[in-house]
Structure 1
């Protein structure tokens, strides 16, 4: 056990190193994604219920009453009590999945976020009946809207787009393995320093295009055979990229060093000192399902981890989408097939980066 503890300590020490140019971009807000997933499931559960959500229960001879909630009422109370970002700045950047957006809109328009809802609050019968009608009306509106052609069309479009991204990215990785027996996979998050965290989306896009444009003549990328990028935005980080680079594993090794050099290139050359990077490969052993580093096409476990890593890049789109100027996600061109004798061909052209 001691040897394992020492390795863990050494790993943590590596991850915690603070070197000029290294930022802490790391993961997406997993807590928010889990919250949105929960809300989406609650809304779907609510629309499958029937009957009134609330009824009035008289509690004494003075005609005081309180509300009693049925199954749909319990779900509505959970939705109201769940904290979901709902400010103008967030809404200008992100669009919620249709179920979430529709429910939040109805709850907001009904003023339920401002009403102290509790089944224990006693009030005059007339007030209880009025509040009961108001809450039941909100539930009815949610049930009715999900049946509308407009909502169904919006939902279909949203889900089709999310599924398309997932299939494209996983298919792209499978195609790379069909061409190369081993891939050196790098995960590097590229961002901006605190002083430059308000960098605009247009400037971030320009920097990304410069990174791939300059790579055509940079030996650092000679053996790169593919890549995936995803634009994200955080309240403190501002706009930043989650990048996945694929190199021909028969020609290069040392994934940590290579990822570090790419990060330094972004921070020092591409952004002229405005950028930061986070080298995810440094802490790859800490991942429960590791899919980065050297991955052989026959290694089912590592390939499953890699697939999970790719899904991770696109999973926010299941519940909220960044409103981007152009594409918010892209990948390289698919590689050409092997020659007739199986001899590997040159790495794919990086002119295929998606704008």
Structure 2
């Protein structure tokens, strides 16, 4: 159970976490929005691997009391004690934290509301004698509770379900893009992030959904930019940006090359739709193509099926907008899905009889780079 959780976490984080040494991991400007959630999830996953005590007391003197010493994992527990997880959960009723994080934060909330004293108020360098043993017991109980909860059958199944959804999203989108590249040697790939703000305390979900529906309808019919072959649209939730949308749009690369211009036209259309139909919503957008030169492997702009470095970058873009569901998931009141795709007739599985199509070596490598779940395997194939 813990191995599966750890593998899933690494797979998800590698596509979402900012890395100053490897800027090709950054596709968009939302890479830090779930930093606390990612860090706490990683902690929960690690705590589930053993049942060790991570805190102990060192006696100083009768006047100074005790000092609380901790292992590296204990230090990470300490770092999350001050986060107001109760406020986060109560303020955003439409978000669902992954089961590992949910268990850990429930324990943090319990300790934060303890009538004796909140653990976040402890001075680890000087704990009074009368509360030292109780403080150490409660600190150790956090890791022990997470270990016990995440290693029972019910929570294993809950984690498997969360993992399954995130991986299925990646698989379906990767297969979709592989099918496109099997039909078109060159794609013009546009990455766009769409946001909306409101003067109201809470962003009106229904109005945002109305606007994105109108945008997608016009996009699908090629009324905003021409020759749209397909698209992927992912609704996401961020504590700073609330509901927003990540899009990857595919145009015919044999006909068009002006990706920055088209991305700007698409962004402006989002602003116009929000102004016309949003009843006070103000739309904003981030044009990823305008900044693609910052990244070693952007995977956006003009992408040829045989350019495996760009294909690797495109895979990272797909992973970026699908795998963060492992950490946090937005659940709409109307039950609409977070991921939507435009499947054109020629991309549907053929019902005709006969032998399956044979791929060239380069085409097969391209397909494998896109569709493998293993980051290191994708890197090896691209190189």
- Normalised by the length of structure 1, the TM-score is 0.76
1:103 to partner: Cα distance: 0.9
Structure 1 residues 196, 263: CA separation in 2 closer, same or farther (over 3 Å shift)? farther
Match of 2:336 in 1: 326
8 Å CA contact 2:275, 2:283 repeated in 1: yes
The yes-or-no answer on 1:128 pairing with 2:129 is no
State the partner residue of 1:283.
291
Distance 1:267 1:291 in 2: 25
1:202, CA displacement in angstroms?
Answer: 1.8
Measured at CA, do residues 216 and 78 of structure 1 come closer, stay the same or move farther in structure 2, by a change above 3 Å?
Answer: closer
- The verdict on how the C-alpha distance between 1:271 and 1:328 changes in structure 2, with shifts beyond 3 A counting, is farther
User: 2:198 and 2:123 mapped to 1: Cα distance?
Assistant: 42
* Contact 2:43/2:73 (8 A) holds in 1: no
| Aligned residue in 1 for 2:38 | 37
CA deviations 1:232-253 (Å, max 9, x no partner) are 3445544322211101112223
Give me the whole-angstrom Cα distance separating, in 2, the residues matched to 1:187 and 1:52: 46
Question: Relative to structure 1, is the Cα distance of residues 295 and 93 closer, same or farther in structure 2, using a 3 angstrom cutoff?
Answer: same
Moved more, 249-258 or 173-182: 249-258
Q: Secondary structure at the match of 2:161?
A: helix
**What residue in structure 2 maps to residue 304 of structure 1?**
312
Alignment of structure 1 residues 240-259 onto 2, 5 Å? 240-259=244-263
Tell me how far apart the structure 2 counterparts of residues 56 and 145 of structure 1 sit (CA, whole Å): 26
Q: Distance in 2 between matches of 1:210 and 1:319?
A: 29
1:144: which partner in 2? 148
Greater CA drift, 254-263 or 216-225: 216-225
What is the CA deviation profile of residues 201-231 of structure 1, one whole-angstrom value per residue up to 9, with x for unaligned ones? Answer: 2222222222233346554444111001111
| Superposition map of 1:68-87 within 5 A | 68-69=69-70, 73-80=74-81, 86-87=87-88
Q: In the TM superposition, what are the counterparts of 1:144-183 in structure 2 within 5 Å?
A: 144-183=148-187
C-alpha offsets along residues 125-144 of structure 1, whole Å, 9 cap, x if unaligned? x4222223333333322221
Could you give the per-residue CA deviations for residues 18-58 of structure 1, whole angstroms, max 9, x where no partner exists? Answer: xxxxxxxx521x23434433322222322333443434443
Single out whichever of 86-95 and 206-215 deviates more from structure 2: 86-95
For residues 73 and 276 of structure 2, the distance between their equivalents in structure 1, rounded to whole angstroms, comes to 55
Instruction: Please tell me whether the aligned partners of residues 59 and 65 of structure 2 are also in contact (alpha carbons under 8 angstroms).
Output: yes
Once the two structures are TM-superposed, the CA of residue 198 in structure 1 deviates from its matched residue by: 5.0
**Are the aligned partners of 2:193 and 2:285 in contact in 1 as well (CA < 8 Å)?**
yes
Counterpart selection for 1:260 from 247, 258, 264: 264
Other structure's SS at 1:212 match: helix
Report the 3-state secondary structure (helix = DSSP H, G, I; strand = E; otherwise coil) of the residue aligned with 1:229: strand
Instruction: Please give the per-residue CA displacement for 1:98-150, whole angstroms capped at 9, x wherever unaligned.
Output: 222211111211228653234421422x4222223333333322221112222
- Flag the 1:246–1:271 CA change in 2: closer, same or farther, 3 A: farther
Instruction: Name the counterpart of 2:29.
Output: 27
Distance 1:268 1:257 in 2: 17
Deviation at 1:171, TM superposition (A): 1.6
Report the structure number with the largest CA radius of gyration. 1
The 1-side partners of 2:298 and 2:69 are apart by: 49
Which structure 1 segments of 5+ residues have no match? 1-25, 343-355
1:49–1:72 CA contact under 8 A, matched in 2: no
Change (3 A) 1:242 1:156: same
CA RMSD of aligned residues (A): 3.2
Within 1, Cα distance between the matches of 2:253 and 2:173?
20
CA–CA separation in structure 1 for the residues paired with 2:268 and 2:195: 12
